Amino acid sequence: MKKSLKLSLTLVLALALALTGCGLFGESSDKGAGKTEAISLMDGQRTYKLPDVDYDTLYLCQIDVNPDDENSLLSEFLDFGIQKEYHLTYAKDGKAVRQDDIFICDTADNAKEMYDALMEMGGGEGMDLTVYADDGSILVLVYNQEMVEGTILQFAGYGIGLDADADAATYAQFDADIYSGYLIDVVAAE
């Protein structure tokens, strides 16, 4: 029961934070402005195809899973075989327009169990949670522009790390910092 409560509180905190708001990019497109079509994750072990989003810059943040850190927001996700987490922030004209939180689990079954656990907690309008069709071991939590802007405004309102007019680069770095992650790549569309 205690582990279930701790898991629930951890997941609520992770969702609340999100609701309040190295050559990894590859396979560039021959279409349009030469935008990146996919990113390679976990040293090329997994590939995530980018959705059709109007952006001019991508910020990729990596959150490492540390099983020894009981205070980590990801510590409870170890029950779902999570290996890595990435946050991909899409920017247009300097403003964040979308964020994909990409969770990589060890198996498709674990990704589905994590999906079920997160769905039980409910979601917010402007948030989409899916098991990635091309690789069932990847779970993707998508935040639309309104949710990202709301997150910025909420943290700014509390005076925590962001100004209300924070640009995408500042937001991506802040997002990395609150999850004890780090920005690993920034790519501008050509």
- Going along the chain from its start, the domains and CATH numbers come out as 2-21+52-188 (3.30.1830)
Query: How far from the centroid of its chain's Cα atoms is residue 155's Cα?
Result: 17
Segment 33-51 shows an average pLDDT of 79
**Using one digit for the tens of pLDDT, what is the confidence trace for 66-123?**
666 665 556 666 788 888 899 999 999 999 999 999 999 989 999 988 888 888 776 6
Burial class, 116, CB count within 10 angstroms (exposed 0-12 / middle 13-18 / buried 19+): exposed
Q: Rounded CA gap, 64 and 48, in Å?
A: 18
Q: Tell me if 146 sits within 8 A of 153, measured CB to CB.
A: no
Instruction: At 80, list the tokens.
Output: 């779902």
Q: Which residue has the higher pLDDT, 156 or 24?
A: 156
Q: Rounded CA gap, 183 and 169, in Å?
A: 10
Instruction: At 24, list the tokens.
Output: 């990894």
Q: Tell me if 145 sits within 8 A of 151, measured CB to CB.
A: no
pLDDT at 18: 36
Residues pairing with 47 in the sheet: 40
Segment 36-44 shows an average pLDDT of 80
pLDDT at 190: 64
Q: Tell me if 171 sits within 8 A of 162, measured CB to CB.
A: yes
Q: Rounded CA gap, 30 and 32, in Å?
A: 7
pLDDT at 120: 79
Q: Tell me if 137 sits within 8 A of 103, measured CB to CB.
A: no
DSSP string, 1-66: -HHHHHHHHHHHHHHHHHH-----EEEE-SSTTT-EEEEEETTTTEEEEPPS---SEEEEEEEE--
Q: Rounded CA gap, 136 and 104, in Å?
A: 9
- Matching residue, tokens 């609701």: 19
**What type of residue is 181?**
G
